[in-house]
Amino acid sequence: MSDESRERLLSAYRATTYRADVEGRSVDLRIGAAVALDGPLAGLEWAFVTAANPGSRLLESAANLLRHERLKARLADCDVVLFEGQGVPDAADWEPEISLLVLGIGREQAVAIGRDFGQLAIVCGRPGGVAELVACTQSKS
């Protein structure tokens, strides 16, 4: 992927609302914005991840749903709390992506999972911090 294409995608990711349904209320996260999470969210590291459309290549809904179920199964073995969500782009040229808000997951583990599911980037945060776009680039040995 060219640097120009990668930057276009990262710009699109920054122009997205990462929305989760948390105990009956909608929580919206934006890259670079402060995150004031309360209740079960307070004090935990978190990540917003998807398995849909790996490498930002559009897949059929059924394929994305299957990948989402695999992501949930993978996370079921971790000591985390999951909330269903969607990445909702500002632009009308991309559909919202089925996603998960994962509470209690460290950045390294979340990036590894994103990479395993073919994602270019995920969203991460720490208590009292801002939502950060984090690349899932292959680590160099």
Output the pLDDT for position 93. 83
Listed in sequence order, the residues at least 6 apart from 75 whose beta carbon sits closer than 8 Å to its beta carbon are 82, 100, 102, 105, 113
Kindly report the pTM of this predicted structure.
0.92
Output the pLDDT for position 41. 65
Whole-number mean pLDDT of the chain?
91
**Angstrom distances, CA of residue 24 to CA of 27, 45, 83, 88:** 10, 21, 10, 18
pLDDT digits (tens, 9 = 90+) for 41-84: 678 999 999 999 999 999 999 999 999 999 999 999 899 999 99
Q: pLDDT-derived band of residue 40, with 50, 70 and 90 as boundaries?
A: low
Which of 12-16, 39-43, 71-75, 137-141 has the weakest average pLDDT?
A: 137-141
Q: pLDDT-derived band of residue 141, with 50, 70 and 90 as boundaries?
A: very low
pLDDT at 136 over 80: yes
Q: Determine the Cα–Cα distance for residues 20 and 135; give it in Å rounded to an integer.
A: 21
pLDDT at 106 over 80: yes
Which of 89-98, 110-119, 132-141 has the weakest average pLDDT?
A: 132-141
Average confidence (pLDDT) over 125-141: 81
